[in-house]
Amino acid sequence: MWTDRSEDGAGYGVGRVGRAVSLGTAVLMYCVMVGLQFAPDGWQTPSVVVAVPALVSMAFPPPMIVASAVLAIGTRWAFVPGEPGRVGAAIGTSAVIAIIAALGVYLVHRREQAAAHLVEINSVAEAAQRAILRPPPPVVGPFRTAAAYRAAAQYARVGGDLYAVADTAFGVRALIGDVRGKGLDAVATAAVILGSFHEAAQDHARLNDLADRMDTSLRRHLNDSEAFATAFLVEIAADGTAHGLSCGHPPPLILRGTVVAELPVSPRPPLGLSGLSGLSGLGEVDDPQPAAPAVRLHPGDTLLLYTDGLTEARAADGTFYPLLPRLTAHLESHPDGPGPAALLEWLHRDSRAFATGGADDDAALLALAWPPDRAHPRNLGYPGPAPL
């Protein structure tokens, strides 16, 4: 939640620092006003006390506003005996203080209603995200897993990026993807892709067949002929042999000690575009590209999958986030290797600190870490994946 609503229940969008500034300014103004009352003639400024409840109402609940108004009115009348003929002015000042306090109480009530409504909206959005983008199990096969999501919109909880992990008869399979576009249409498209993956991952022995099934499901769903989604599929056999298939998506990274390398991939068009021809550098589904060489993962390795929202975060000068150099430097400073959750938390924090120029896209991360002490993955009972 983006607001800081502490024990006093106030401060919609303000926070502790804002409340401290508001209260400090009100106290300072009150003390200056009282001090000037004892200065030589010509410095009497009792009407300034009307600002005290106005300042308090900016960051505090009704009881504090009423208390500050009572203090201000009482202070104003305390100076009346020393100001002959100023009773009318004191009445007018007291009326203004009461009006300001009443308006402050009303505005606080309205902003508290808005805060409660925002909490409800965020709760619904979070529930929707968990229903569509389910967190992966903490352990899948020999791997410890972690996932993280950062929406480009400040208060958003869902978007068009997606990830999934499945333990199948063909190995541990993982998916990460990025739907073209934003908003509810992108969320609906992501839901179709995820549903297709979870269903088809258990049925197809080849990653190409799995991608075909997902592509068919997506094209049945899409109404926009230009809509598509990039995706990356990876399959890891029981012995650690990993195959990657890129549907127009950046390849994942293998983290081994302090070394970071890309997983070799077999390319094909993005999901939703497989029926189109003339896709430069991608080829057609009916004319498959040569299979990329398999890579053997070992205990201690981590496979990091990500969407381009991470690498497209920009500094103020337009420089994109340099994922490989910064990740390598981080691993060198953590020789024992961070856990998957800690790694993703650091990546989001580091990219957010780097992106002074803004982050215009969602960013999803998925990590599969093979603990060094888990040298023998459980026997899944299959000979391994068929060649692509």
Mean pLDDT of 302-328: 90
CATH tag, 137-369: 3.60.40.10
Q: Say if residue 124's pLDDT is above 70.
A: no
Report whether pLDDT(370) > 60. Answer: yes
pLDDT at 11 over 50: no
End-to-end, the C-alpha distance of the chain in Å comes to 45
Which token pair is 308?
């381009």
pLDDT of residue 125: 63
Section 176-192 average pLDDT:
82
For residues 312-340, average pLDDT: 87
Among 148-152, 222-226, 346-350, whose mean pLDDT is lowest?
Answer: 222-226
**pLDDT, mean over the chain:** 79
Mean predicted confidence (pLDDT) in 360-377: 78
Confidence at 303, pLDDT banded by 50, 70, 90: very high
Beta pairing, strands 253-256 & 171-179: unpaired
Domain spans in the chain, listed from the N-terminal domain onward: 15-126, 137-369
**Confidence tier at 130 by pLDDT (50, 70, 90):** low
Above 90 in pLDDT, residue 356? no
Write down the pLDDT at residue 185: 75
What is the model's pLDDT at position 3?
Answer: 34
Task: Please compute the mean of the pLDDT values over residues 34-60 and round it to a whole number.
Answer: 72
Residue 28's pLDDT band (boundaries 50, 70, 90)?
Answer: confident
Whole-angstrom distance, CA of residue 258 vs CA of residue 144: 19
In this model, does residue 2 exceed pLDDT 60? no
Q: With beta carbons less than 8 A apart as the criterion, state whether 16 and 6 touch.
A: yes
Q: What percent of the chain has pLDDT over 90?
A: 31
Query: Cα Rg for the chain, rounded, in angstroms?
Result: 30
Q: What is the pLDDT of residue 93?
A: 81
Mean of pLDDT values over 164-187: 87
Model confidence pLDDT, tens digit, residues 227-272: 789 999 999 998 899 999 999 999 999 999 889 999 998 899 999 8
Distance CA 91, CA 79 (A): 12
Token readout for 144 is: 């410890």
pLDDT above 50: residue 312: yes
Q: What is the pLDDT of residue 97?
A: 85
Q: In whole angstroms, give the CA distance from residue 209 to residue 217.
A: 12
More confident residue, 43 or 137: 137
Mean pLDDT computed over 62-67? 87
Quote the pLDDT of residue 241.
93
> Confidence class of residue 25 from pLDDT cuts 50, 70 and 90?
confident
Assess whether pLDDT exceeds 70 at residue 200. yes
Q: Rounded to an integer, what distance in angstroms lies between the CA atom of residue 262 and that of residue 355?
A: 23
- The side-by-side arrangement of strands in the sheet containing 139-140 is 139-140, 143-150, 363-369, 302-306, 253-256, 259-262
Mean pLDDT in residue range 75-92: 76
